[in-house]
Structure 1
Amino acid sequence: MQIIQPEGWKQPKGYSNGILAEGKTLYIGGQIGWDINEQFQSDDFVQQVHQTLLNTAAILKASGAGPEHITRMTWYITDKQAYLSSAKEVGRVYRDVIGRNFPVMAMVQVVALMEDQAKVEIETTAVIPHDNTKEQHPS
């Protein structure tokens, strides 16, 4: 993958302006902050972000990919202020799960998500290089 940064533009923090990639494309449907049994363990915004990222990482792993293959993430949140007031903690849990990979991103505040208890939903796209040697485990 190649990060695209127009000359003279200020470097973005926590995301990329553009990514050029070649390979197999993995589309990950909107993940929310519940566990594998579809149960929420917390109503805390940061904890739900953490679980949402863990869910995303599990799908990446099941396809033979990793966080380094993520090219795009769209975040849907129900409370902009909850995000802004916990941005440092969100950044910490993001780096704990995704690492220092900063794909193209968008974040949108929405009135509600389909699951009433959900505070965040993240949709992700990854591109797995054709020469990726990770063993694949379909679920």
Structure 2
Amino acid sequence: MSGKTIHPEGWAPALGYANGMLMADGTLHIGGQIGWDKDKVMRPGGFIPQMEQALSNIREIVEAAGGQVADIGRLTWFVKSKEEYIAHQKEVGQAYRRIFDRHFPAMSMLVIKELIEDDALVEIEATAFIAPKRD
């Protein structure tokens, strides 16, 4: 089964990876998104702004593939600090709802030691299903 690379318009090139791969069956695999914007500039302000940017990136990839937030079936979160996440749960919920409203797919969270980008505090990957268009 072959896939189509999904790269939102205006984003800096993804080098050595794809932000999203839309498979022929409609499954959209979204690579780990961190808190940087379309120009690969890390959003300042710590965990909450980075988390919100990562979720915004996921939404933008889903929309570029022809879908919507409700098509997302799974999120996997990788966080560097369990304590920071727990200390900011109210802000996490508020930021989450700004991007995903009240759509809550299956989720997992892993606490990890490091991410590839040193300044990244969170990375989130996703899987969505976008029904193939019928001709």
When normalised by structure 1's length, the TM-score is 0.75
Deviations 1:14-49 (A, max 9, x none): xxxxxxxxx610000000001111111314100100
Aligned length: 110
Does residue 73 in structure 1 map to residue 75 in structure 2? yes
Which AA in structure 2 matches 1:109? Answer: V
Greater Rg by CA: 1
Q: Which has the higher contact order (CA 8 A, sep 6+)?
A: 1
The equivalent of 1:129 in structure 2 is: 131
- 89, 99, 102: which is aligned to 1:100? 102
Partner of 1:4: none
Could you list the structure 1 runs, at least 4 aligned residues long, displaced by more than 2 angstroms after superposition. 129-132
Q: 2:58 aligns with which of 56, 59, 76?
A: 56
Question: Any unmatched runs of 5+ in structure 2?
Answer: 1-24
Name the amino acid aligned to 1:63.
A
Letter aligned with residue 63 of structure 2: K
Determine the structure 2 residue equivalent to 1:29: 31
Percent identity (aligned): 42
Query: Cα RMSD over matched residues?
Result: 1.4
TM-score (normalizing by structure 2): 0.77
